[in-house]
């Protein structure tokens, strides 16, 4: 994907609003601008949107700022789940295993979708990116996609859910959105609007205002992944701003209501037929395992 820092950006750094043009690498290596409550966050994002009018802003909330360290400098990374390293495991073995599991999950999803009579099965069967989006959203397996939201409240809720003192909110700048799937050859991105591809009985995508972002053209195999350097498969290349959230202030802010866990993560919903489908797929796939460097196996935690 194209690095947004090649454009002229106006944004916040830890010192405040920068009156000078900022590059992407500066944002990634910066600790992030501290915001005290949700009202202040809204004001900051409004300023970002005004001064960066050529981009659409999407948001991602996390309980921590995960970084690579090189030369004593911490640099934020936002990798899709299928390319994230796991402590004790080697990606040399893990990535082929993860792609194999993803392929099996895709086949099961296409089969179950048709057998359960869910709407418009041909679209799911024909478009791989849609299968990936559903599998990622429901955390069935690791995929080359990253979860984001168009809702600041949802992203802030994710950041605050398990964090104690501080959470992190990332603002990604993407091309103009159009329809269920937006593909930009210029930016090297595709964006899927989750609410447009899930059946009407699936309500959680509407609570979340969820989107999935991925490479364009998509990386479909391990062999295709070898055509990319590790730094190229990192959605921080689209990072416009990084905010450090003072959660004590957020939780006191009358304008901010933390969304409950059941609205943010897959759970029991009798009306959601798709949730029952993915439960069947998970049961048939069995536990996910990454090979350790020692050759043994370990089950990684679920992640979004």
Question: How confident is the prediction along the chain (304 residues), in pLDDT tens digits per residue?
Answer: 888 866 678 999 999 999 999 999 999 999 999 999 999 999 999 999 999 999 999 999 999 999 999 888 999 999 999 999 876 555 666 889 999 999 999 999 999 999 999 999 999 999 999 999 999 999 999 999 999 999 999 999 999 998 889 999 999 999 999 999 999 999 999 999 999 999 988 888 888 899 999 999 988 888 888 888 878 899 999 999 999 999 999 999 998 998 988 888 876 565 788 988 999 999 999 998 766 544 433 334 446 7
Q: Residue with structure tokens 């959203």?
A: 137
Q: If you ran DSSP here, which 8-state letter would residue 135 be given? A: H
The verdict on residue 267 lying in a domain is yes
d(C-alpha 66, C-alpha 267), whole Å: 26
Name the nearest CA neighbour of 158 among 300, 261, 293: 261
Tokens found for residue 161? 């859910």
| Torsional sign, CA 67, 229, 171, 265 | negative
The verdict on residue 274 lying in a domain is yes
The verdict on residue 290 lying in a domain is no
- Our count of domains for the chain comes to 1
The verdict on residue 302 lying in a domain is no
Asked if residues 218 and 130 have their Cβ atoms less than 8 Å apart, the reply is no
3-state secondary structure of 188: coil
Structural domain boundaries, residue 159:
4-285
Q: 72 Cβ partners below 8 Å, 6+ apart?
A: none
The verdict on residue 297 lying in a domain is no
The verdict on residue 26 lying in a domain is yes
The verdict on residue 296 lying in a domain is no
Secondary structure E strands in 72-193: 73-76, 146-149, 166-174, 181-184, 189-193
The verdict on residue 293 lying in a domain is no
């Amino acid at each position: 994907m194209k690095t947004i820092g090649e454009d002229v950006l106006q944004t916040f750094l830890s010192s405040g609003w920068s009156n000078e043009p900022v590059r992407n690498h500066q944002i990634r290596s910066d600790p992030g601008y501290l915001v005290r409550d949700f009202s202040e966050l809204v004001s900051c994002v409004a300023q970002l949107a005004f001064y960066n009018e050529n981009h659409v802003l999407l948001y991602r909330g996390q309980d921590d700022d995960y970084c690579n360290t090189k030369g004593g400098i911490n640099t934020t990374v936002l990798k899709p789940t299928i390319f994230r390293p796991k402590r004790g495991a080697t990606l040399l073995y893990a990535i082929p295993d993860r792609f194999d599991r993803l392929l099996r999950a895709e086949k099961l999803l296409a089969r179950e979708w048709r057998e359960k009579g869910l709407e418009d099965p041909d679209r799911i069967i024909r478009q791989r990116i849609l299968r990936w989006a559903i599998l990622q959203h429901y955390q069935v397996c690791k995929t080359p996609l990253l979860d984001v939201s168009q809702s600041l409240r949802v992203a802030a809720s994710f950041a605050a859910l398990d964090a104690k003192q501080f959470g992190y909110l990332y603002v990604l700048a993407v091309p103009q959105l159009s329809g269920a799937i937006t593909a930009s050859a210029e930016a090297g991105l595709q964006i899927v609007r989750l609410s447009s591809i899930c059946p009407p009985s699936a309500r959680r995508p509407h609570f979340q205002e969820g989107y999935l972002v991925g490479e364009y053209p998509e990386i479909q195999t391990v062999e295709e992944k070898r055509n990319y350097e590790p730094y190229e498969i990192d959605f921080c290349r689209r990072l416009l701003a990084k905010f450090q959230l003072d959660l004590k202030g957020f939780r006191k802010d009358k304008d901010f209501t933390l969304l409950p866990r059941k609205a943010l993560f897959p759970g029991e919903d009798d009306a959601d037929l798709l949730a029952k489908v993915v439960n069947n797929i998970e049961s048939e796939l069995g536990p996910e395992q990454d090979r350790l460097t020692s050759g043994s196996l370990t089950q990684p935690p679920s992640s979004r």
